Amino acid sequence: MIYLDYAATTPISEEALNIFSEVSLKFYGNPNSLHDSGSEAKHLLEMCRKELAVTINGEKEGIYFTSGGTESTILAIRSIIEANKEKGTHLITTVTEHSSVDHLFKQLETEGFSVTYLSVDKYGQIRLEELINAITKNTIFASIQYVNSEIGTIQPIEKIGEILRENDVIFHSDCVQAFGKIPIDVKKASIDSVSVSSHKIYGPKGVGACYINPAIVWKMQLPETSHEKGFRPGTVNVPGIAAFTNAAQTICNQLEEKTKKYDALRNKLLSGLLGMEHKIIIEGHPVDQLSNIIGLSIIGTQGHYVMLECNRYGIAISTGSACQVGKEKPSKTMLAIGKSFDEAKQLIRISFGNQTEEIHVDKVVEVLRQL
C-alpha cells in the first residue's frame, strides 16, 4: 500500500517507539507520587515540558500535556473563556476550523456567548479587514487555525496575532497540522495559546499538548484536579509524552530538509497533472500553502469514489479531514471557499510524509489519469 494520508495520521517512528518502551519499563512511577520512582518520572516529565516549549519558543510553565489535539483545543478554549467571561462574552473563530473547534463554539452559543464566524476567500484565507471589523469592546477571545487540514492553506498568523494583541483579544490557534511542518513562534506571532498533537508528527497516538502563555488567566474545568496543575485529570502518560517530545524535536530539527523534499514532490505531482485542468482543480492558496498537503477537486466525480478507486490500486488517500469521514455533509472548507454542495463533494486530499518517494507520486498521477 502506498500511504499518502499523512495529514490524517502518521506511523510512529522507531526512535519514538523505542523511547516509549524504555520509559514504560524504567520510569513507570506516577509523577504525582512522592517516592523515588515518582520523583524520577516527575523529573523526566519536566524535562519533556521544557524541551517541548523550546520547539514553539514558549515558556516551560505554559506547557500542559493532554491526550491529543482535540482535548488540548477544547480545554484551552473553555478554560480561558470561563476565566475571562466577566470581561465580555463575544468570541471570534472561522468557518473552516476543525470540527472539534466548530462544535465547541456552537455549544458555547447555547451558553450565553455570541460568536462571529469569519468567512474566507476562494483560497481559504480569512480577510483581515473582516477580523478588524468583527472586534468589539465585548470581544475577549479568538480561535483561528494556523493551517487548514483539508487544503493546506496557511493563515497570515503574525498579522492576525498583531491585530488581536492590539485589541487585547486572547488568541488561540489550532496548530495540529502546522506543528513540525512550518516554524511556530508563539512570541513572534503573538499567540497566547496553542494546541498540538503527537500522532501527526510520528509520535504515539493518544498524546498531545496545549500551550497557554503563563500571563493568561485560565480556570480548571474539573474542581480539585491535581494533575498538570489542574489543567486535566488522569494519570500523566509519561512514556507517551517522552516519545512525543522526541518526535517533536526530531521533526522540528528536520523542518528545512523535509520542506525541500515536500516542495519537490508537490511540484512533481502538479507537473504530472498538467493538461488535466478541465478535470482537476488544485485547491488552496498559491503561495501560503503547506507543501505536503494537496487538495484536489475532481470535476464531475465524487471524491469518495476516487478515494475507493485509488485504494483498489493500492494507494491510500482521503476525502478531507478524517473527522468528517462517514458524514453525509460535504467538506465545510470547500463550501466556505465558494463551492456548491455537489462541488464540495469532489474533494480528495493527498498528503506526503517521511516515507513518500517520487515513485509514489508517479503512481498517483498514473492512476488519476486512468480514472
Task: For the chain, give the number of residues.
Answer: 371
Active site residue 48: no
CA angle 22, 24, 27 (to 5 degrees): 90
HSE value, Cβ hemisphere, 13 Å, CA-based, for 147: 27
153 bridge partner residues: 289
Distance CA 69, CA 88 (A): 26
Give the C-alpha distances (Å, rounded to integers) separating 168 from 157, 162, 357.
16, 10, 46
Q: Which amino acid is at 7?
A: A
Catalytic residue, from 210, 252, 310, 323: name it: 323
Q: What is the largest CA-CA distance in the chain?
A: 68
HSE value, Cβ hemisphere, 13 Å, CA-based, for 118: 25
Question: Which sequence positions are flagged as catalytic?
Answer: 323
